[in-house]
Chains A and B, each alone.
Chain A
Amino acid sequence: MLSIKNLTASVEEKTILKGLNLEVKPGEVHAIMGPNGAGKSTLGYVLSGREGYEVESGGAELNGKDLLDMDIEERAREGLFLAFQYPVEIPGVSNMEFMKESVNAIREQRGEEPLSAAEFLKKAKEACKQVHLPLDFLKRGVNEGFSGGEKKRNEIMQMILLQPTLCILDESDSGLDIDALQVVAEGVNSQRSEDRSFIVVTHYQRLLDYIKPDFVHILADGKIVKSGDASLALEVESEGYAFLNKVEATA
């Protein structure tokens, strides 16, 4: 599915990722935790191809294809989906128009016919229901005036509609109360399958109570410094990231 090898990347000439390695197999859920500034969000941006995020060395393959060589939209069409931590507001472009264009662009890539307006609307309504978003959110400008929680749910709604193969959730839990957190987690869990993988980036263990990861990785200073199973997240929760110093000392 996803294979990241020795990835080094910089933003504004500052190196953020410093030789990151990660293997994600189909159906797996990987959690990436780490202190602020470790490079968690940068990883998502680099993989999705955001401008200004320069890959210096190393590589990343998605389903055997060189991900870093593709344009942003090609990566999405290959099945990569990034749920943003801070989704941007785009007044004037409706959520509906946005998603319809998007769904059909991805269908085209898969060699499928575009959805008619009615077919699309049916799917969009179902996706909205699943994340408890009122239907009139489809008519509103993309994320325009949405609360923090509504923006996060809108991201999950998009994920459900687009049916990606690799989903990266960038702090999809931040700023959510417990009810909203459950809605987001249920949305994600409903999409778990044998051929779909997830990278769940989070600062807190809380989300992982609801989305059970197969692996937990600790990202610090641009590298994965420790990997383990779900119990590693609990360890972090009780001890904080203080153990990182120990890791570095022994390294």
Chain B
Amino acid sequence: MTNHVFPKGALEMLIMKVLSNGSHHGWGIAQKIHLLSSEALTVEEGSLYPTLSRMQQRGWIKGKLGLSENNRQAKYYTLTSLGKMHLKQEQKRWEELAAGIAQVLKSND
């Protein structure tokens, strides 16, 4: 299990992707990323929150207080329609980037 350094903007994209399948609280998001990546990616837990805050300011996600599994108060985040648009855009860009990098690596020049 290696910890990769997250490139800029990737964290936001991953958060949005996680939230596109349902709303979660902060811990839940971190856990989900860890699981979905087959444990390849580990998010430094604390750094999640400033990012979440930023995304909230820009209207990509919406947060609401609610009761969590262990009967404590937690903030649950959902993806907004604006966030969905951004997710699509970022996803597309990432895929183009990855394809481009892979292509260069594959070439034999």
- Please say whether chains A and B are actual partners in one complex: no
